Copies of this chain bind each other. A is one copy, B any other.
Amino acid sequence: MEDSHVQDPIAELITNYNELNSSFIEELDEEPSALEFMRFVARNTPFVVRGAAADWQATQTWTVDYLKDFLGDELVNVAVTPFGNADAPTLYTPPSSDTSTLVFAKPHEEPQPFSSFLTYLTTQELQPPSPNNPHGQQEEEEEVRYAQTQNDNLRHEYAALLAHVPRTIPWARLALARDPDAVNLWIGNARSVTALHRDNYENVYVQVAGRKHFVLLPPVCQPCVAERGLRPAHYRRRRRASSAGDGDGGGGGGGLELVLDEGGGEGEEGQEEVPFAVWDPDRPAENATRYSALVQPMRVTLNPGDMLYLPCMWYHKVSQSCSPEGVCIAVNYWYDMDFTGPLYPLSTFVRSVSNEKK
C-alpha cells in the first residue's frame, strides 16, 4: 500500500476507515469530562450517553399539556410539507411536463398558534387506523408539520422554555472553549424525516420526548452519498381557485404545491443549485454511487434523556417515533467547529476527487 498505485483511492479510503473504526457507536456510562470529550472531538467519533438528560427540567416536565399551557397560542414557525420532507431531495414535475427531476424541497413555513400546532401533531399521530384509513391518516388535505427552524430558536422563539435546559453542555463548553452558536428545539411527529445531510458544527443532541433514529456516516463517506446539485424549490399552499389548472408540482394530495425558487427558471442550469446527498442509507439500491455499498452506517436510537455527540461533518439521517402522547421533542446544541487543522480541507479534497471521478 505504501508505494504502489492503488486500484481506486476512494474505495481504499472508505475500506481503510472501516477497518480502523467501529460502526457501532460507543456508549458512555456517564457524561464525559471535557478532556474525555476532546478525545472524541480529536477522533471525530460519535458517542451516546444514555440517560444523561433524564433529570433535566425539560425531560421531566415537557408533556403536551404542560407545553400547551406554557406557550398557549403564541405563534411559532411551523414547517409544512406533504410528506414530512422538509429540506429533502424530492421529485418535481413541472407543469405541462411528464418528466420529473429531483429538486431540493424546502418546506412551506408559516406561523401557527403553538397549542393548535401541537394538537395537530398529536391527533395525526394518535388517530387510530380504520379499514378505510389503514395508516390512521387524518384527511385528504393532510400535511405534515414540524417545528424545526434551526436558527437558535430555543433562545429566541421559544425563549420561555430556555430555563428548562442547560444553557450549554458543561463539558462541551470547557473542551471547545466557547458557548453554543445555536440551541435548537425540534417538535414533530413520526411523519417527519430529516434527509441525510451534514453540518459544519459539533453537535450535542438531546432527546426529550419520543425517540429519534439516527443513521450516521463519517465524513470520508462523501463519495457514497451521491451529492448532486439540486435546484432549490419550496412548498406553498395551493390557491384553491386555480388549483385545477396547475400541474400538481409533485406536491402530492395535500393542499401544498412545490414550486421552483425564483431565479432558477425552466431549462436553466441553476447557478444556485444546492449540493445535497441524494442517496438514502435506508434505500441503498437507489441513487447509489459505485462506493455506496462500502458504507457501514452507524445506527443509534435516542430515548428520552439520551444524549448524542454527533461530530462535525458527519452525515446524518434522522427519523422519529413519538411518545405515548404523540410527539417527538428534542433539543440540540451546535458549537462552531474548528476549521483549522487537516479535517476540513481534507474533506473538501475528498469531495473534489470524488467529483473528478464522476
Contacts and interface: CB of A to CB of B under 8 A. Distances in A.
Interface of A: 1-6, 9-10, 12-13, 16-17, 20-21, 34-35, 38-39, 41-45, 174-175, 177, 218-220, 227, 229, 273, 275, 338-346, 348-353, 355-356, 358
Contact of A275 (B2, B20, B41): B2
B355 A353 contact: no
A45 B341 contact: yes
A342 B44 contact: yes
Contact of A42 (B5, B42, B227, B348): B42
A346 B350 contact: yes
Contact of A356 (B9, B174, B219, B273): B9
A298 B346 CA distance: 19
A19 to B, nearest CB: 8
Given A41-B42, A341-B43, A275 B350 contact: no
Contacts of A218: 342
A12 B349 contact: yes
A352 B3 CA distance: 8
A225 to B, nearest CB: 13
B44 A348 contact: no
Copies in the complex: 2
9 contacts: A4-B355, A6-B352, A20-B339, A20-B340, A35-B38, A38-B39, A39-B177, A220-B349, A346-B349
A177 B33 CA distance: 13
Contacts of A45: 340-341
Contacts of A220: 342, 345-346, 349
Contacts of A342: 17, 44, 218-220, 343, 346
B43 A338 contact: yes
Identify the interface centre among A12, A39, A338: most chain B CB within 10 Å of its CB.
A39
A106 to B, nearest CB: 18
B1 A341 contact: no
Contacts of A12: 348-349, 352
A229 B3 contact: yes
